Each structure stands twice: as structure tokens, then as C-alpha cells.
């Protein structure tokens, strides 16, 4: 409830600022104008939101699955760790924005390039957080498993993996927060639909209020993905209590 | 219950170090089979290191026989219920038939340590003493010929401690057990043999055999006299916390 009041306060200040300075609406539209556009063009915005939302969700799922799989492979195999881990770390030096035009070139203007883009952005926080978690298993638990004659596979799946879930959850939360970035960058570079595409189109035509409305819907999508992810993770890792809850 | 061969444990001319810190040198020690031996000593003297040596948990050591090891920390897995924690060994070894067979025993053990109504609770909902009792149940549920326990009753209230000492005596019968403690009366109640560790690096004193069958009455004058003697010996050894 409180964040909503804060948001309302900020919107009021924004409205007042526009009213006092008399900035034209194609530079900075007042919230009331954006709200009117939202109400007026909701069918268009909904269509584009569904498109971008699908890209985000698929990219999120792909990035999570690939990232988690690679982290587990790295934790289980010293060979993979030695040969491929430095490469994964180095890959983060490549600016994602620079890759976007290539992805569009290879995969086209459709959804695929955006899904891959989002997955690329998400991949690294997931690998690094889960791999880190898998390496930091409590020594005492490993010792206990050792005295119980547990095979390495059981130690990985029944002790190290569940023990790493809180770390994985942190990575997945970051992933949920950055998923929209990947999808929207892909749309900016070249797309035929989506909220990012709508924004670039409308800004070029001076239809700033509609671009702002698209941005607003994009924010809602991002918040929604984060909130759902957070809720699912809390259910998945119930033994982890959070301070300040 | 088909009994495995229950071995004795022996340490011959061992050098034990902990974190690059010499704890014992040229140590030789015989732990008799099918007996409970208590290692008694002041804090910081190296009791835990010796127990870890016996468990094969120190670098360069191997264990002599299949064993169950109970550390000072309960080491319960926070995502498993009390019952599943007690059955952890069977879960990890992936022998479904053995696990099903062990489950009634796990339930009975948890009931005996007073957790019969907390079977499905996660560890974080249990108190420190309850967690230690669950860890004790897990150790005993393993059904191994050798059992090593590091201050297994440290976090319990006085009455529960006596009850669980009685339980341990009953369940450790016929196994080779080594129990580390700094409580002389506890050692005298449950052990066939008490060994005092003193000095730095520590040496192990001769076996002290408390009279009668365990668990012994803590109010028995003979036992209390023996306790006074042990305390005297421990005191004479100087502060054990110093390296």
C-alpha cells in the first residue's frame, strides 16, 4: 500500500512540474495525459505487452534452464570447469547490446532473436550464483555424507544442490529483474512487434505520450515477473528465512 | 538384526595435527571392541581431533570400519523433516528397500528421544536441544558397528541428559563406541572405559574402569568418589585451552 502512495505522490509532483513549466507534451507528457492514452489505446498496448511478455518469459525460462544446467555441470566435472568456465566468464566482457544486431541478423525480426537476447542477459547471473552456491556447501554436511558412504551423485543432488538453492534464488531474482532489458534491447534493434518496438516507433513520430504508456506497461510486466518469481522462490526455499520480513 | 563384525580400533604411533597445530605426537591407543570408551579432557585439548582421526576425517587418514559419526553441531539438513534427517544415510545411499526397512526404527528412535510428535517438522522449528536429540537419533539409526560421538549431550537440560545417556547405553551395547565429553560424571555413567587426555600435545592416560554395569546411578557414592578423582586429575593438567 505504501509504495503505491509514494508512486501517487511522485506522479502528482510530475504533473505539477509539467503544469508549472509548460513543457510541451512531446517532450514530457504529464501523467494525466499518459493515463488517458493508456485508457484509449489499451487494446494496442495489451497486444504488444503480450508479445513482449512472451519473449521475456521464454527468455527467462531458457536462461534459467541453461544457466542451472551449466552450473551443475561445472560443479560436477573438473574437466568442464577447467576448459569452459573461463570462457563463460570472459563472455561477460562482450557487451550484450553489441550482440543484439547480430542476433537479429541471424534469427530475424521475430520473437526468436529477443528470446535468445533475454536468455543471454539472464544466463550469467544464474550460472554464477548457482555455481557459487554449489561450491559453498557446509563442510559439516559433506563430512556427514562422507561418513554415511554417500556416492558423489547423491551428494550433489541431495546435499549440494538443495544447499545451493538460496544462492540460486538470488541469481534468479536478478534474472527476473533484467529479463525485460534483454527483450527490449532486441526489439529496439529490429522487431516487428512488442512494447520496445512500439516505443521507438512512437518516439520517432513525436507520439511521446504513447511511448510513455508503453514504458509504463513494460514496468508493470517487469514488476509482475519479479513478484511472481520471488513468490515461487520463497515457496521453493521455505527453510530460508529473510530478515526484515 | 544380523550383526556385522564389530572391530576394535587402534591408533599406532600417530601424529595428529589440526590446522597446522600439533595436537598429539607418537600417540598409541587401543579402543576395545563392543565397549563404550569415553575420552575425557578439558576444552581445546584435542578430543575432537582424535575423534576425527578415528573417523578418517583428517587429511591422510582412513577409517578402520563403517561407522556413524556425530559431530558437536547437529548438522541437520534444513530442508528435510526430522524423520527424513534421521533416515539421511539411507536416502543418500539410495537403497530404497533398506530405507523402508529402517523407517519404523527411525520413528521409534525419534519417539525415544522425545520427538515422536515432531516427525514432520523442519529443523528450524526445533529447539537446540531437540535438534541435538534428532542428530543422536540419526547417528543411532545408522546401525553401524562403530559409533563416534562428540559431546552428544552437551545442549540438553540435566534431566533429558540423564534419560538420553540411559538410551545411549542401551543402544550402544554390542558396538564399539567412542564418546568425547568434558563431563566426568557423564563419562563414569555410560562408559566401560574412561580415558583422560591431558597435556599439549596431549597424552592419553590409562583406562579407568568404573565398577558395575552402565548406566550407573549418578548418586552412587563410589561413582562420586571416582568423579572427584577424575576432576583432580583434570585440574592437575592445567588449563586445557592453552595451546
Q: Examine the pLDDT at A239 and tell me if it is beyond 80.
A: no
Supply the pLDDT for residue B237: 57
Are residues B196 and B222 both part of a single domain?
Answer: yes
Instruction: Assign residue B19 the CATH number of its domain.
Output: 3.40.50.300
Whether residues B139 and B155 share a domain: the answer is: no
Higher pLDDT, A92 or A54: A54
In a shared domain, residues B50 and B95: no
pLDDT score, position A97 = 84
Task: Report the CATH fold assignment for A42-236.
Answer: MetI-like fold (1.10.3720)
Question: Which pLDDT score is estimated for A50?
Answer: 94
pLDDT of residue A244: 45
Q: Is B89 on the interface with A (CB under 8 A)?
A: yes
Q: Could you give the ipTM of this predicted complex? A: 0.87
DSSP string covering A156-214 = IIIIIHHHHHHHHHHHHHHHHHHHHHHHHHHHHHS-SSSHHHHHHHHHHTT-HHHHHHH
Residue A245, pLDDT > 50, answer: no
| Least reliable range by pLDDT among A72-86, A206-220, B13-27, B188-202 | B13-27
Q: How far apart are alpha carbons B138 and B150 in whole angstroms? A: 14
**pLDDT tens per residue across span B45-57:** 888 999 999 998 8
* The pLDDT of residue A25: 87
Q: Which helix (H) or strand (E) holds B193?
A: strand B193-198
Residue A109 at interface with chain B, using a CB cutoff of 8 Å: no
| pLDDT of A171 over the 90 cut | yes
Same domain? B134 vs B25 = no
Judge: A148–B142 Cβ closer than 8 Å, yes or no. yes
Q: What are phi and psi of B28, to 5 degrees?
A: -130, 135
Helix (H, G, I), strand (E, B) or coil at A62: helix
Determine, for residues B91 and A162 on separate chains, whether the beta-carbon distance falls below 8 Å.
no
Domain with B139, as residue range(s), is 75-143
Query: What is the reported pLDDT for A175?
Result: 93
Burial of B63 (0-12, 13-18, 19+ CB in 10 A): middle
Rama region for A25: left / alpha / beta (φ>0; ψ in -120 to 50; rest): alpha
Please give the pLDDT value at position A237: 84
Q: Which of B111, B143, B175 is the last residue of a domain?
A: B143
- pLDDT average, residue stretch A191-219: 91
A151: nearest CA partner in chain B: B93
pLDDT at A242: 53
User: Domain ends where: B143, B168, B188?
Assistant: B143
Task: Find the closest chain B residue to A159 by CA distance.
Answer: B77
**What part of A 141-180 touches B (C-beta under 8 Å)?**
141, 143-151, 154-155, 158-159, 162-163, 165
Structural domain ending residue among the three candidates B122, B143, B164:
B143
Residues B124 and B157 in one domain: no
Residue A241 above 90 pLDDT? no
The two beta strands, B9-18 and B146-150, are unpaired
Q: Which residues of B124-155 are buried (b: 16+ CB within 10 A; e: fewer)?
A: eebeebbbbbbbbbbbbbbbbbbbbbbbbbbb
Q: Are residues B131 and B103 in the same domain?
A: yes
Let me know: does A88 contact A70? Beta carbons within 8 Å: yes
Same domain assignment for residues B123 and B36: no
In B, residues 106-145, which contact A (CB 8 Å cutoff)? Answer: 122-124, 142
Nearest to A148 among B79, B88, B123 (CB): B88
Do residue B125 and residue B185 come from a single domain?
Answer: no
* Same-domain check for residues B8 and B120: no
Cell digits of residue A116: 535468445
- Grid coordinates given for B51: 575423534
All cell numbers assigned to A221: 510486466
- Taking residues A218-232, report their average pLDDT: 93
Q: What's residue B7's pLDDT? A: 86
Indicate the average pLDDT of chain A.
90
Clarify whether residues B132 and B161 are in a common domain: no
Do B243 and B214 fall within a single domain? yes
- The pLDDT of residue B21 is 83
- Total domains in chain B come to 2
Mean pLDDT of A220-235: 92
Among A116-120, A127-131, A198-202, B12-16, name the one with the lowest average pLDDT.
B12-16
Residues of chain B with pLDDT under 50: 1-2, 239-243
Amino acid at each position: 500500500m505504501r509504495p503505491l502512495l509514494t508512486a501517487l505522490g511522485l506522479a502528482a509532483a510530475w504533473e505539477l512540474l509539467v503544469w508549472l513549466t509548460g513543457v510541451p507534451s512531446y517532450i514530457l507528457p504529464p501523467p494525466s495525459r499518459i493515463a488517458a492514452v493508456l485508457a484509449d489505446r489499451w487494446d494496442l498496448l495489451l497486444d504488444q505487452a503480450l508479445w513482449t511478455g512472451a519473449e521475456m518469459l521464454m527468455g527467462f525460462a531458457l536462461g534459467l534452464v541453461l544457466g542451472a544446467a551449466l552450473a551443475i555441470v561445472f560443479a560436477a566435472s573438473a574437466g568442464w570447469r577447467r576448459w569452459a568456465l573461463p570462457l563463460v566468464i570472459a563472455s561477460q566482457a562482450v557487451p550484450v547490446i553489441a550482440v543484439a544486431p547480430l542476433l537479429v541478423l541471424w534469427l530475424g525480426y521475430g520473437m526468436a532473436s529477443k528470446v535468445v537476447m533475454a536468455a543471454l542477459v539472464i544466463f550469467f547471473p544464474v550460472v554464477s550464483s548457482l555455481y557459487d552456491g554449489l561450491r559453498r556447501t557446509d563442510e559439516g554436511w559433506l563430512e556427514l555424507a562422507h561418513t554415511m558412504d554417500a556416492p558423489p551423485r547423491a551428494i550433489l543432488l541431495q546435499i549440494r544442490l538443495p544447499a545451493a538453492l538460496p544462492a540460486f534464488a538470488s541469481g534468479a531474482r536478478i534474472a527476473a529483474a533484467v529479463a525485460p532489458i534483454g527483450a527490449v534491447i532486441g526489439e529496439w534493434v529490429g522487431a516487428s512487434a512488442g512494447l520496445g518496438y512500439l516505443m521507438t516507433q512512437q518516439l520517432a513520430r513525436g507520439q511521446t505520450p504513447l511511448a510513455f504508456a508503453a514504458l509504463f506497461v513494460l514496468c508493470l510486466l517487469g514488476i509482475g515477473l519479479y513478484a511472481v518469481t520471488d513468490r515461487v522462490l520463497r515457496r521453493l526455499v521455505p527453510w530460508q528465512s529473510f530478515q526484515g520480513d | 538384526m544380523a550383526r556385522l563384525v564389530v572391530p576394535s580400533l587402534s591408533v599406532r604411533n600417530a601424529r595428529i595435527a589440526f590446522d597446522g597445530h600439533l595436537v598429539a605426537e607418537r600417540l598409541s591407543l587401543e579402543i576395545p571392541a563392543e565397549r563404550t570408551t569415553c575420552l575425557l579432557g578439558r576444552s581445546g585439548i584435542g578430543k575432537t581431533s582424535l575423534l576425527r582421526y578415528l573417523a578418517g576425517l583428517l587429511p591422510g587418514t582412513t577409517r578402520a570400519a563403517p561407522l556413524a559419526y556425530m559431530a558437536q553441531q547437529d548438522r541437520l539438513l534444513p530442508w528435510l523433516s526430522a524423520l527424513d534427517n534421521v533416515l539421511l544415510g539411507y536416502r543418500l545411499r539410495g537403497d530404497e528397500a533398506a530405507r523402508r526397512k529402517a523407517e519404523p526404527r527411525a520413528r521409534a528412535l525419534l519417539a525415544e528421544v522425545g520427538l515422536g510428535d515432531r516427525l514432520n517438522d523442519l529443523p528450524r522449528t526445533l529447539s537446540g536441544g531437540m535438534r541435538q536429540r534428532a542428530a543422536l537419533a540419526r547417528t543411532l539409526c545408522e546401525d553401524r558397528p562403530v559409533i563416534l560421538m562428540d559431546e552428544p549431550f552437551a545442549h540438553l537440560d540435566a534431566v533429558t541428559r540423564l534419560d538420553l545417556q540411559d538410551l545411549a547405553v542401551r543402544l550402544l551395547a554390542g558396538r564399539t563406541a567412542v564418546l568425547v565429553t568434558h563431563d566426568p560424571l557423564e563419562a563414569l555413567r555410560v562408559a566401560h572405559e574412561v580415558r583422560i587426555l591431558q597435556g599439549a600435545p596431549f597424552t592419553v592416560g590409562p583406562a579407568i574402569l568404573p565398577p558395575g554395569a552402565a548406566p550407573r546411578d549418578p548418586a552412587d557414592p563410589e561413582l562420586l568418589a571416582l568423579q572427584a578423582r577424575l576432576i583432580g586429575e583434570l585440574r592437575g593438567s592445567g588449563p586445557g585451552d592453552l595451546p
